[in-house]
Amino acid sequence: NAGVTQTPKFQVLKTGQSMTLQCAQDMNHNSMYWYRQDPGMGLRLIYYSASEGTTDKGEVPNGYNVSRLNKREFSLRLESAAPSQTSVYFCASRIENTEAFFGQGTRLTVV
């Protein structure tokens, strides 16, 4: 049972490049989330998907897009990366009103 799997673990982008962060869960959870973690800022919600076929903006959605491909997969896309998007990104999933399970994180650097 792998839980929540994110790829890649590390990535360096040049300003203006695009990329997609992949996330998959095998726990049959309805809800999936993308957070970013910056020093002193905690975990801030970028986008979430309450169920397959739905997505909604979180606290810091600007510069990102998401796709809930199916119940298992939820991807995060940066269309034109900026240095301000340098961060650690975490995907998570959960069943309603229970704990969230996190992926191992993606450390993204934009130069």
Partner 1 sequence: GENVEQHPSTLSVQEGDSAVIKCTYSDSASNYFPWYKQELGKRPQLIIDIRSNVGEKKDQRIAVTLNKTAKHFSLHITETQPEDSAVYFCAARGYGGSQGNLIFGKGTKLSVKP
Query: Rule CB under 8 A: is residue 96 a binding residue for partner 1?
Result: yes
Tell me the site size for partner 1, rule CB under 8 A. 24
Task: Give, in order, the Cα–Cα distances in Å from 7 to each of 21, 30, 40.
Answer: 6, 20, 25
Query: Rule CB under 8 A: is residue 40 a binding residue for partner 1?
Result: yes
Exposed/middle/buried for 37, CB within 10 Å: 0-12, 13-18, 19+?
A: middle
Q: Which residue, 7 or 102, has its beta carbon nearer to partner 1? A: 102
Stretch that binds partner 1, among 17-25, 29-37, 70-78, 79-87 (CB under 8 A): 29-37
